[in-house]
């Protein structure tokens, strides 16, 4: 029996850019912590300054505040996420031509509502959104496990992702025969060879 093929796309910084949402969230949290009574260490403030400046979260960012920061970015500042329109249009065309679209994101089940709202707002017709129910695995490990499951369910997958290290991690550990990988950088799609 013929099995299906699917397009599998990451969400943050692939379909939607989260930089300005993260900057607003970091400013917000910075102010809250400054006013707060709790003692905060130097590193937390320093890391928040990096996020305010660069729009990304440094490695080793405080576990205590990470979820708070993402919640501010993905809920309160959801309207600051901006669409990667050329890529969204590319996927919309592919869906029109009969391809199935699956969104695979490590952002977390807690952000399902906001995630699906943005996809619908930009007219992306997806079959499912896969998010981790909890954060027991590191993002790249969780993604690897989910891609493995999908590669067993489908004959062929085309995966889109903005982090090359995530793609390399999957290629190294899965040695996938039936997956094509594309690195997404705004409108530029780069085919990653195994």
Residues of this chain that interact with Mg ion (CB under 5 A) are 10, 12-13, 162
Q: Is 115 left (phi over 0), alpha (psi -120 to 50) or beta?
A: alpha
How far from 9 is each of 27, 30, 59, 63, 86, CA to CA, in Å? 29, 32, 24, 27, 14
Closest approach of Cβ 53 to Mg ion, in Å? 20
Closest CB to Mg ion among residues 18, 62: 18
Q: Is 60 left (phi over 0), alpha (psi -120 to 50) or beta?
A: left
Closest approach of Cβ 163 to Mg ion, in Å? 6
Show Cβ contacts of residue 42 under 8 Å, excluding neighbours closer than 6 positions.
none
Closest approach of Cβ 15 to Mg ion, in Å? 9
Q: Tell me the C-alpha distance between 53 and 48, whole Å.
A: 8
Closest CB to Mg ion among residues 40, 163: 163
Closest CB to Mg ion among residues 33, 75: 75
Closest CB to Mg ion among residues 10, 110: 10
Closest approach of Cβ 161 to Mg ion, in Å? 6
Closest approach of Cβ 13 to Mg ion, in Å? 4
- Residue whose entry in the numeric block shows the structure tokens 């309207």: 79
Both tokens assigned to 6: 């699917």
Closest CB to Mg ion among residues 46, 82: 82
């Amino acid at each position: 029996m013929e099995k299906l093929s699917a397009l599998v796309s990451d969400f943050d910084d692939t379909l939607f850019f989260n930089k300005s949402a993260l900057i607003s969230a970091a400013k917000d949290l910075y102010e809250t912590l400054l006013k707060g009574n709790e003692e905060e260490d130097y590193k937390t403030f320093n890391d928040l300054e990096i996020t305010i400046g660069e729009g990304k979260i440094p490695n080793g960012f405080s576990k205590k505040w990470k979820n708070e920061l993402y919640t501010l970015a993905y809920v309160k500042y959801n309207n600051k996420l901006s669409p990667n329109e050329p890529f969204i249009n590319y996927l919309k065309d592919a869906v029109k031509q009969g391809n199935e679209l699956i969104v695979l994101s490590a952002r977390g089940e807690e952000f399902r509502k906001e995630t699906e709202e943005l996809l619908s707002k930009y007219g992306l017709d997806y079959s499912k959104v896969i998010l981790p129910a909890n954060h027991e695995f590191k993002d790249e490990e969780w993604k690897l496990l989910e891609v493995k499951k999908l590669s067993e369910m489908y004959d062929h997958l085309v995966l889109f992702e903005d982090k090359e290290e995530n793609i390399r991690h999957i290629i190294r550990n899965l040695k996938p025969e039936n997956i094509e990988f594309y690195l997404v950088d705004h409108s530029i799609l780069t085919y990653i060879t195994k």
